[in-house]
Structures are given as C-alpha cells and as structure tokens.
Amino acid sequence: MLKVISANRAIAESVRLSKPKVVPVYPITPQTSISEYLAQFVADGDLSAEYIKVESEHSAMSAAIGASATGIRVFTATASQGLALMHEMLFSAAGLRNPIVMGNANRALSAPLSIWNDQQDSISERDTGWLQFYAENAQEALDFVLQAYKISENEKVLLPSMVCVDGFILTHTVEPVDVPSQEEVDEFLPEYKPKHSYLDPEDPMSLGTFTDPNYYMEARYAMEVAMQASKDVIRSVNKDFAEKFGREYGFIENYMCDDAEIILVAMGSICGTVKDAIDTLREQGQKIGLLKIIAFRPFPKDEIYETVKNAHRIAVLDKNISFGIGGVLFNEIKAKMDVDIRGFILGLGGRDVSPEDIKKIVDITKTSTESDKINWIGLKEEEI
C-alpha cells in the first residue's frame, strides 16, 4: 500500500511488520520520531512488543543485548551522540553474536554541537562488527530493515545490522513508500527461532565469559568468517526480497557506470542529488556514472572494482573525515584496488550539497593531479 511518509515512519512501519518482541529505545534528534511511532504502535496494540523506556542509549543497547540473548527479535534506534554513547555496547552486541537490528539517523558529532546530517557517527562504528546498510530514500529504509533481520538472523551470520538514514534529509522528508502487508512480510520474515546459545533455564549456558589469550582471537576470527559469509546471505536475501516485493537491491547500485569515464562513489541520500546532476551532465555529453554503496559492511570490494575498473578516474564523496588521512570510504577504496581516485569531503554538519557542487567535483576530478589531496567542497573561505 502506497503511503506518503518519512524515512523515520518507514522504519517504524518496517519494525511493526517485523514484529520484534522487545524495543528498548531512547529518543534523540533526528531519530526521535522513530521512538515515538513505535511507542504509539505499542500503545495502540499495533505492535505486540515490550517497549522499554530506557534512560540512555547505553542502556538501550544493553537492554537490547539482554533481550536478544534470550533468543528473540529486538529493535532499537539512535543517532549521533547516542550511537557514540553505545560504542562500547556495539562491540558487545556483535561479540555476543546478537542479531539486533538498529536504525541510525545519521547526524554529525559534537563539538561543535550539530543536530544536522553527516555520516561521521556510523562510519566511526565501522570496526564494531555490525553490518551497515545506507538508504538513499524512505523506501530503501523500510526495505533494508526487513532484509537486515533476515540477514542478521541467518545462522551463518549472527551479527547485528545497522540501517542508516540521513538525518532530516530522509528522516523528516515525506515521500511515497510502498508499505507491504503483514501477510507478505510474514512470508518473507517468519518468527526468529534461534539455533544457538540463549538464556533459558531449561538449558543453562554462560554468555559473555572472561577469555584469556588462549581463546580470544578465535572468537574474533569467527566474527570475520561470519562477516565474509554474510555476503552470500545478503545476495540470497536480496534475491528473495526481489521475488517477493519486486524491488531489487545489491551491495551497490550501478547508475550509468557501464560506459562512464568518471564514476562518483557515494552513499545515502546524496545519491539522489548526484543522479540528478549526472542526468544533466549526460545531456551535455559527459560520460559520468554513480556507484552507490548500499552495504558498507561487509565492504563490497569486488562489486566496486567490477563496476569502476574501466573508468578513467573515480571520485569518492565522504560525509565524514578521519583526520589526518581524509574520507573513510575514499581511503578504503584506495587501499583495496588499483584505481585512479580522488577524494572529497562534503556535507559535514548539514552543509547543503547542490547539483552545482557535484558538477564542481566532476571538474576537479578531471583536472586534479594529486590523488592524496583531501578536497573540501562547500567550505566558506571567509569563515576559516
């Protein structure tokens, strides 16, 4: 059923349809309406879940871990400072192999305080063992939550997933979204039945034990094996999803890359702007393409390389910065493949990115001779 809703509403609808049994959640801008919609669903009996009104994001993730450890489906959501406050618990959730799904409304990190969008928050959690999916629009937000449960709960994976939506740009912007029926979702995503350890007095187990140097590394190795195994699971879930709902996704999206001389690489809502700019540039005869990253973890290096290998040059757009080295996506791609590459930092703290900025990036990419340079787009020279 087509509804005109925000990405936050789309995530809430997706959670309602996924039927988690426990939802510990703490409000934070711009995630807040997710926590409000879910509270209302529970209050109205539209979602039969235990909604835990926790006192912080740290406790939201802690309660999610405890709940998930009993072998049930769990959801939570956060943003920015909240995600940073959860940082320690993100490692625990992944290490305990809890298939939690979390929505993250991408927002800049303080200081200075900003409630507006960039992707520094989730990018900074890339090493915690979570799968990360970035949505371009509200439909993808809804679809990715449904798929994230099926991927995370697969016994070959058992790692948590984060579905990222750009703060305000997606979380507070309404657009038409196809909200599937409960019957359709039930067929795609049946109730979670864990096969491994969970807290049950009938079969006592100890979880989260103390581990000396004889055993720790193997637990970490098992997580890497699971992260690699998640690639096949993602492919298969994408396929099931396309068959059921008619929308096809992959690790990446290829927008006019096949004959492109310059390929831009980006993730999240900015891809809409980039596609618009490309349409204009193509009309002018410029062969430009966009490679949209959907899955940032596991990192789809093969899919990226297959798509960009024939391009003359690629330009990576990062709404984050690892100080001293530049954009994280730029550096990861640069490290993984032999390509002629340029990196751009843009959109930090909600700085608007226009189609003109994209055209400027294309121009710089064509003429730039320095591949290591960190190119800042949209900086106000007079404020520096």
Helix (H, G, I), strand (E, B) or coil at 382: helix
Q: What is the DSSP string of 4-46?
A: EE-HHHHHHHHHHHH--SEEE----TTTHHHHHHHHHHHHTTS
Question: Measured between alpha carbons, how far is 187 from 172 in angstroms, rounded to an integer?
Answer: 30
Binding mask 5-44 for other proteins (x = CB under 8 A): ----------------xx-x--------------------
Q: In this chain, which stretch among 36-44, 132-140, 200-208, 233-241 interacts with other proteins, using CB under 8 A?
A: 200-208
Question: Quick one: which of 11, 25, 47, 65 contacts other proteins (CB under 8 A)?
Answer: 65
Helix (H, G, I), strand (E, B) or coil at 164: strand
By CB under 8 A, the residues from 80 to 119 that bind other proteins are 88-89, 92, 96
Question: Measured between alpha carbons, how far is 29 from 103 in angstroms, rounded to an integer?
Answer: 13
Amino acid, single-letter form, for residue 339: V
**Least distance from other proteins to the Cβ atom of residue 103, Å:** 18
The count of other CB atoms within 10 Å of the CB of residue 53 is 11
**Least distance from other proteins to the Cβ atom of residue 216, Å:** 9
**Least distance from other proteins to the Cβ atom of residue 67, Å:** 4
By CB under 8 A, the residues from 257 to 286 that bind other proteins are none
Question: Quick one: which of 211, 280, 310, 354 contacts other proteins (CB under 8 A)?
Answer: 211
Question: Quick one: which of 29, 32, 33, 68 contacts other proteins (CB under 8 A)?
Answer: 68
DSSP 311: S
**Least distance from other proteins to the Cβ atom of residue 58, Å:** 7
- Count interface residues toward other proteins (CB under 8 A): 41
Sign of CA dihedral 365, 369, 371, 373: negative
Q: In this chain, which stretch among 28-36, 50-58, 102-110, 276-284 interacts with other proteins, using CB under 8 A?
A: 50-58
Sign of CA dihedral 173, 184, 271, 117: positive
Question: Quick one: which of 181, 208, 309, 363 contacts other proteins (CB under 8 A)?
Answer: 208
Q: How far is CA 17 from CA 184, 233, 384, in A?
A: 9, 21, 48
The reply on whether position 77 binds other proteins by CB under 8 A is no
Question: Measured between alpha carbons, how far is 118 from 109 in angstroms, rounded to an integer?
Answer: 9
Q: In this chain, which stretch among 48-56, 142-150, 237-245, 318-326 interacts with other proteins, using CB under 8 A?
A: 48-56
- Closest Cα to residue 329, out of 376, 359, 292? 292
The reply on whether position 215 binds other proteins by CB under 8 A is yes
Tokens 């509804």 belong to 3
The reply on whether position 207 binds other proteins by CB under 8 A is yes
- Residue 335 token pair: 């490290």
Which CB sits closer to other proteins, 72 or 138? 72
Question: Measured between alpha carbons, how far is 336 from 28 in angstroms, rounded to an integer?
Answer: 35
Q: In this chain, which stretch among 166-174, 193-201, 225-233, 288-296 interacts with other proteins, using CB under 8 A?
A: 193-201
Question: Quick one: which of 28, 34, 38, 49 contacts other proteins (CB under 8 A)?
Answer: 49
The reply on whether position 204 binds other proteins by CB under 8 A is yes
DSSP 194: -
Which CB sits closer to other proteins, 204 or 324? 204
Sign of CA dihedral 367, 373, 374, 378: negative
Question: Measured between alpha carbons, how far is 116 from 277 in angstroms, rounded to an integer?
Answer: 23
**Least distance from other proteins to the Cβ atom of residue 205, Å:** 6
Contact residues for other proteins, defined by CB under 8 A: 21-22, 24, 49-50, 52-56, 58-59, 62-70, 72, 74, 88-89, 92, 96, 199-201, 203-212, 215
